Amino acid sequence: MWQIKAFNELTTNELFEIMRLRIAVFVVEQKRIYQEADDIDQQAIHIFKTENGRVVAYARVFKEAEQVVFGRVAVAQGSRGNGLANELMLQISETLTARFKDQSVHIIAQTDVQGFYEKWGYIAVGEPYIHNQTPHIDMILDNV
């Protein structure tokens, strides 16, 4: 079941499961050492899907300066390859349209998934760079 919640609406178990997934993907699986939880979490809208009590897909959306941003896009390793990433992007897109209509969206995408975001209309801006020990590229979508 997909859920979209503000930070203060999350249950402690939902927050735990979100952090479990994010740490599993971004810290353990990708072998990156960085502060995974940050102050943005408290301001973000959290989009996630649970199956059997576990969060299997997740992203957060938030406002930053004049742009809307989404990030921490993750699908559990055992749930990949069945279209869940596209379902998550659909949820992100619907949230952006409903809450941030006619605003630009900026993402910092890992370069290995740049093509995935391009399929959703995002355009790369500038050159790749290292962010949290991984190659990333800025991407934008004008006026959702």
Look at domain 2-100 and name its CATH class.
alpha beta
State how far the Cα of 38 lies from the Cα of 49, in Å rounded to an integer.
Answer: 21
Q: pLDDT digits over 2-41, tens only?
A: 999 999 999 999 999 999 999 999 999 999 888 899 999 9
Give yes or no for residue 112 having a pLDDT over 90.
yes
Q: pLDDT digits over 130-139, tens only?
A: 988 889 999 9
Q: In what order do the strands lie in the sheet with 134-141?
A: 2-6, 45-51, 54-64, 67-75, 105-110, 134-141, 123-131
Single pTM value for the model:
0.94
Q: pLDDT digits over 39-69, tens only?
A: 999 999 999 999 999 999 999 999 988 889 9
pLDDT for 121 equals 95
Residue owning tokens 């991407």: 139
Q: pLDDT digits over 67-106, tens only?
A: 899 999 999 999 999 999 999 999 999 999 999 988 999 9
> For all residues of the chain together, what is the average pLDDT?
94
